[in-house]
Chains A and B, each alone.
Chain A
Amino acid sequence: MRRARSVLAILLPIVWLICNVDALAAGASEPAPGDLEALMRRFAESGGVRARFRESRQLSILTDPIETQGMLYFAPPDRLARHTSWPGRSSIVIEADRVSISDETGQRVFDLDTSEVARALVGNLMVVFRGDLEALRERYSISFESAAESWTLDLEPRSRALRSVIERVHFAGEGQNLLAMETREPNGDRTVVKFSEIEVGVSWQQRDLDEIFSIDPPDTAP
């Protein structure tokens, strides 16, 4: 459960990011995609992605949110890395079905096969990456709205297992820009991730890939 939820918390923003690489790269003056199909077509054309993230996790037991910052990387078709650099250092690297986590408490590795929830999420990631809207609809109730330059995308899990962890994921953007992603949990906790300095269509040398997608992350982005 714990792993599934943690993977979920990490994967959802990544899913969104990958799905929106083109939109993120595009200028603010571009109109929002007119429909979900258009948005998904852009997702399918995603390449390597590098972005800076700023996360604010608001927990009901804390008076102030927990803030973290770091870098997010995606290399098609199935490699994702999130390296936190502030306030402490931690990393999550996903390669196919294998998830590696490193933080101040140590290193852990687990297999997505062991978690129905995590497996579904990675499956979703691949579905979105392929622009497979039909498969995405099988797993989520999707609500997409756009008006002029702004748009919102809401995902509500269909399965009970996913719903026990995530109540709703809300994406908001203007034109092709992502402004925020908010994840709400059934207990009222919520996490907001903002992205900046996004680069898409990035290609790396093998040596850089090995460095980025390891749980001993580079000090500076390559």
Chain B
Amino acid sequence: MNDLRVRWITAALLTLIGLYGLSRLEFTNSIKAFIPAAGELGDLSLELVDSPLARRMAISIGGGEQRDEVAAALAASLRSHPEVDWVESGLDENALRAIYELYFDHRVYLVSEQPATQIPAMLEPAALERRAADLRRRLAQPDAMLLARTAPEDPLGLFQNIVDRIRQANPALSSESGSFESASGEHAILLLGLRSSPFDSERQAPLLDYIDAEFARLDAEAGGGFALESSGINRISVASERSIRGDANFISAVSVSVVCALFLLVFHSLRHLAIAILSPLSGFAVAMALALSGDDPVHGITLGFGFVLIGVAIDYPIHLMNHHALSPPGTRPRETAAQIRSSLLLSALTTTLAFFALSLSDFPGLRAMGTFAAIGIPVALAIALFSIPAFMRPSARPTPAQRALAGGFARLVGWLGARAGIAVALFAACALIATVGVPQLHWEDDPSTLVAGDPVLIAESERVRARIADFDTGRFVVGLAPSAEAALALNDRIHERLSRAIAAGDLLGVSSLHSFLWSQELQRENLEALRSVPDLAGRIDRAYVQSGFRSGAFGKFPAAVAAPRAAPLRAEDFVGTPLERAVDSLVELDGRWAVVTYLRGVASGGAIRDALEGLEGTHYIDQKEIVGGVYRGYRRSMVRVLALGCVVVFVVLQLRYRDWRAALLAFATAGLAALATYGTFGILGVSVNVVSSISLLLVLGMGVDYGIFTVDGARLADRLGATLSSILISCLTSVFVFGTLALSEQPALRAIGLTTGTGILFALALSPAVFVLARRSGARG
């Protein structure tokens, strides 16, 4: 097959595969897809990450006296936005009427959380006389008109108790003014629900821009001077993504420029760069197409890290092109490819096996990345061996830079060969760094440290949360039960236990469905307790007459107890009412029902667990603890993967060379470079995390490639310069592509850059020493 045909076939295949991938491109950013099965608690936590409970946002508007009007106008505007599910800005007259209609006829079911003891006590003559005197006093208040209307049917003030309970559920959102406002009264508050995940930046970014634009318009219309602040996971998520993208754009520009300069310097041509990129790009395209051929979307992190891992494959065309340029005149590209084929095959095989080890991880994220990379590397190699020679010019001649590099390395190795002690000292120095530094290594298992949040944004979010006394969305109690009613019954008991924890000072407050809805069982107990009081009508009459009430004035109340106008309150009754959001915390999860209670001011997780001791189906969830545990698991899994990868690679090298010294030397570049990298981090106090560990796999992959080429090159004297200069070019390319990520402000990107940059430089430094030792070992052999 001639080169022209190969070029066309390659281009056509890649185009088809690329188009197929693009046509099916669907990826997710959900954290759920990236966290392993972490037991019931982890599953629950993950389910709740994407539940409506997490899809919320709070907006605070401060400034002039018209802030309520500005907030109301913004609320009206937001209600028509497709990404906004609901908006609450206050309780108007209709809302108050709806609450009255929802609860008044149910008041006989919602008297007391301890009906068996509290209701008889409430209806003792002395207690009733106190209530009568209190009612008489309240009727003299200036706004007692509604009380006067409801008192004949509700002499015990049961409806008012329910309203007070609802208000206490969110004390900072004083709705006395009709509009929600902060505790200080200086800010109007809007609460809104999102239709999409707060992590879905593609949908959240336009919404946030819309809010800003609408507010700017309303602010200008109202004369200016208003200030909007907000809090929500979506803001942090979008800002982080924008920051990462900004960083990535800047770093890409830097790295592309430097790599172009490198290729211009070494090859005097950017065509070589285009050809070199073809190899990893093809591996990525095929891996992506295969990943997208399934039913599930690919995770964004898998794509990102997969691309980075397959980036290792850029070494193959660089070796090919550099060796070809330094080959004797008249050597055809395919002949050069044939000469280094065995080295390339071994490199690709070891790298693929190392990544395949990653795919054996029990963590889905690592598994997906490993599979992705293990598919991409052989494809990249196939392109390097089969297609790239067809794109290369047959009569390449070395540039002055290539000649200088090759000659320089030859002299260096010659000099080093005469001083083997220095080569050994290099190994010893790396081993010493590893020995001293690795035990001092600090592992960072807090995933939140992987993303640098904007401190201004975080401070703003905290201010808004403080204004509405928001609850900690990362700490909550979940009651799980087979039915909604059983979940509500469990929630009654959870609330009772947590109330005790509040009294004991272990907790500042809770946001519970219990403030709005009790189980039917408890509601019926209330009604039965009222009915069991002998001569209810007579008791009330006798007590209230003493405070100046007419005899028989409250006859409607005993009648309502005897024959309530409504059945016990149910979750379905809230649909379409202003309190509809309150029942969001009752959710169906995989056939079971969960009821969530959010906590504020948790003194210690242990105290909450103690408070809930013995309540079957109840779980205290601290998402930070759970996710931290998951990341610790990722770290342990990565260490196992690295160890397994090293063993597999070493076995393959031994099988290939059938000489443990050659295998060891080929492996030493990678192993020592990786260990020395972590040793350096330990000595310098640089924390490492799961991202560093994945990047270390990259170092291993590249390091093994360098080792194989070095050991193979040592066996052929005429390859010395070509081999080492190829390694230098590969190394510099990798440092400029991956190492520049160390410039990023984002900890995750910085970790990739620092680890790969440091590791590759160690590998480069060790290569001449390996070459010298391999040659001496070969001579002895």
Contact = CB atoms under 8 A, between A and B. Distances in A.
Interface of A: 1-10, 57, 59-64, 66, 68, 82, 84, 87-88, 90-92, 98, 101, 103-105, 108-111, 113-118, 165, 185, 187, 189
Given A59-B148, A189-B148, A108 B176 contact: yes
B93 interface: yes
B177 A111 contact: yes
Nearest to A187: B149
13 contacts: A7-B143, A61-B148, A61-B554, A62-B548, A64-B548, A92-B143, A101-B142, A109-B185, A110-B177, A111-B177, A113-B68, A113-B72, A185-B145
Select the residue from B136, B149, B549 with max chain A CB neighbours within 10 A. Answer: B149
Name the 8 nearest CB pairs between A and B, nearest first. Answer: A114-B178, A6-B143, A2-B146, A5-B145, A61-B553, A115-B93, A114-B92, A111-B178
A185 B145 CA distance: 10
Given A111-B68, A114-B177, A62 B139 contact: yes
Select the residue from A6, A84, A108, A115 with max chain B CB neighbours within 10 A. Answer: A6
Contact of B91 (A91, A98, A114): A114
A63 B550 contact: yes
A7 B144 CA distance: 10
Interface string B577-611: 00000000000000000000000000000000000
B100 A1 contact: yes
Contacts of B137: 88, 104
B145 A9 contact: yes
A81 to B, nearest CB: 11
A187 B151 CA distance: 12
A1 B97 contact: yes
Contacts of B68: 111, 113
A82 B100 CA distance: 28
Contacts of B93: 1, 3-4, 114-118
Nearest to A166: B145
A153 to B, nearest CB: 22
A12 to B, nearest CB: 11
A5 B146 contact: yes
B176 A66 contact: no
B470 to A, nearest CB: 22
A57 B141 CA distance: 11
B549 A88 contact: no
Contact of B178 (A2, A6, A101, A110): A110
Given A109-B177, A114-B91, A115-B178, A61 B142 contact: no
B152 interface: yes
Interface residues of B, number: 36
Contact of B179 (A105, A114, A165): A114
B92 to A, nearest CB: 4
B404 interface: no
A104 B141 contact: yes
Contacts of B143: 2-3, 5-7, 9, 92, 101, 103, 108
B550 A61 contact: yes
Select the residue from A1, A91, A108 with max chain B CB neighbours within 10 A. Answer: A1
Interface in B137-191: 137-149, 151-152, 176-179, 185
B647 interface: no
B458 interface: no
A84 to B, nearest CB: 7
Given A114-B90, A114-B178, A82 B146 contact: no
Contacts of A4: 93
B96 interface: yes
Given A6-B143, A111-B68, A189-B149, 18 more contacts: A2-B147, A3-B96, A3-B143, A6-B142, A6-B144, A61-B550, A62-B549, A66-B139, A82-B142, A91-B142, A98-B177, A104-B141, A108-B143, A109-B185, A111-B179, A114-B92, A114-B93, A115-B93
B140 A88 contact: yes
A110 B68 CA distance: 11
A59 B141 CA distance: 13
Contacts of B136: 62
Given A2-B96, A87-B140, A110 B176 contact: yes
Contacts of B91: 114
A59 B139 contact: yes
Given A1-B146, A101-B143, A61 B152 contact: yes
B147 A61 contact: no
